């Protein structure tokens, strides 16, 4: 009985954490997107990592719909990133939720691809838009022929399935050159930028819009 009570309390705690994470995601999205719109900045795609706790919560798709309605963000500019383990944890429920999200026009990305389940049949079942190659394959591609071969195979498979391919964790010119030569669609990593805070991202958008000079380490360019 005590074990059941502990499990129940743990379950309720996880449920509360999930609700809090959803509220945080909603609040950040509303505040940030409204600020960009108020400042007259161009709308850019916004990618959000979705945890297993968030995704399994009842009403998750409605929470996403609320964010879109209250911010006015066109659904095609919102991308939700889910790992393979999240997608396959409950395939029936996952299909239902994904169909609701896709019906809104939201984009879906498979994050950290290659580190989860080896069963690739889910790529046919879940209509994702983008596939993100996990950084563990990128890190040693210059010295590990197996990693290089896996990356080439993933890119080829993804393109055959009409998925946009993104390489994560790119840190060197050599890595970028390899990926470019093998037609990887997009690249992200420290080679281009470290993760930016909301305020730094806002400044970058203003720079691109020609509203402010570039400021780096208190020096103006």
E-strand ranges in 94-212 read 107-113, 130-133, 164-167, 186-187
Query: Is-contact 171 190, C-beta < 8 A?
Result: yes
Query: Is-contact 151 182, C-beta < 8 A?
Result: yes
Task: Give percent of the chain above pLDDT 70.
Answer: 79
> Tokens representing 156?
């080829």
What region, left, alpha or beta, does residue 72 occupy, with left being phi > 0 and alpha being psi -120 to 50 degrees? left
User: What pLDDT is recorded for position 193?
Assistant: 85
Residues 126-158 as b/e (b if ≥16 CB within 10 A, e otherwise) read bebbbbbbbbebbbebeeeeebbeebbebbeeb
Bridge-based pairing state of the strands 107-113 and 78-83? parallel
Domain ranges (residues) in the chain: 34-220
The neighbour count for residue 67, using CB atoms within 10 Å, is 23
pLDDT in tens, 152-187: 999 999 999 999 999 999 999 999 999 999 999 999
Query: Is-contact 112 84, C-beta < 8 A?
Result: yes
pLDDT interval class at 135 (50, 70, 90)? very high
Note the pTM of the prediction, 2 decimals: 0.76
CA separation for the pair 109, 49 (Å, rounded): 9
Q: SS3 for 183?
A: coil
User: What pLDDT is recorded for position 201?
Assistant: 83
Contacts of 8 (CB under 8 A, 6+ apart): none
pLDDT at 17 > cutoff 60:
no
Cα torsion through 34, 39, 45, 46, rounded to 10: -40
User: What pLDDT is recorded for position 11?
Assistant: 31
User: What pLDDT is recorded for position 154?
Assistant: 93
Question: Tell me, which fold does domain 34-220 have in CATH?
Answer: TIM Barrel (3.20.20)
> Tokens representing 80?
């939700």
Residue among 78, 48, 36 at smallest CA distance from 205:
36
Query: Is-contact 64 78, C-beta < 8 A?
Result: yes
User: What pLDDT is recorded for position 30?
Assistant: 64
pLDDT interval class at 8 (50, 70, 90)? very low
pLDDT in tens, 24-70: 555 566 677 777 777 888 777 888 888 888 888 888 899 889 888 87
Residues 9-31, mean pLDDT to the nearest whole number: 48
Strand partners, 107: 79
CA separation for the pair 34, 54 (Å, rounded): 23
Least reliable range by pLDDT among 14-18, 113-117, 136-140, 191-195: 14-18
pLDDT in tens, 72-94: 778 888 899 988 888 877 777 78
pLDDT at 1 > cutoff 50:
no
């Amino acid at each position: 009985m005590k074990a059941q009570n502990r499990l129940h309390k743990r379950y309720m705690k996880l449920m509360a954490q999930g609700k809090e994470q959803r509220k945080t995601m909603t609040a950040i999205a509303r505040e940030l997107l409204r600020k960009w719109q108020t400042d007259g900045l161009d709308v850019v795609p916004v990618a959000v990592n979705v945890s297993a706790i968030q995704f399994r919560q009842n009403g998750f798709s409605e929470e996403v719909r609320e964010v879109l309605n209250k911010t006015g963000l066109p659904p095609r500019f919102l991308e939700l990133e889910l790992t393979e383990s999240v997608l396959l944890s409950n395939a029936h429920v996952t299909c239902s939720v994904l169909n609701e999200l896709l019906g809104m026009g939201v984009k879906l990305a498979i994050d950290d691809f290659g580190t989860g389940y080896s069963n690739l049949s889910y790529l046919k079942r879940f209509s994702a838009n983008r596939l993100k190659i996990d950084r563990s394959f990128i890190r040693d591609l210059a010295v590990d022929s197996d990693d290089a071969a896996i990356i080439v195979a993933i890119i080829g498979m993804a393109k055959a399935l009409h998925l946009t391919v993104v390489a994560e964790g790119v840190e060197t010119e050599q890595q970028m050159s390899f990926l470019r030569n093998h037609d990887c669609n997009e690249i992200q990593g420290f080679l281009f930028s470290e993760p930016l805070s909301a305020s730094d991202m806002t400044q970058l958008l203003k720079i691109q819009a020609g509203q402010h000079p570039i400021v780096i380490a208190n020096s103006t360019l």
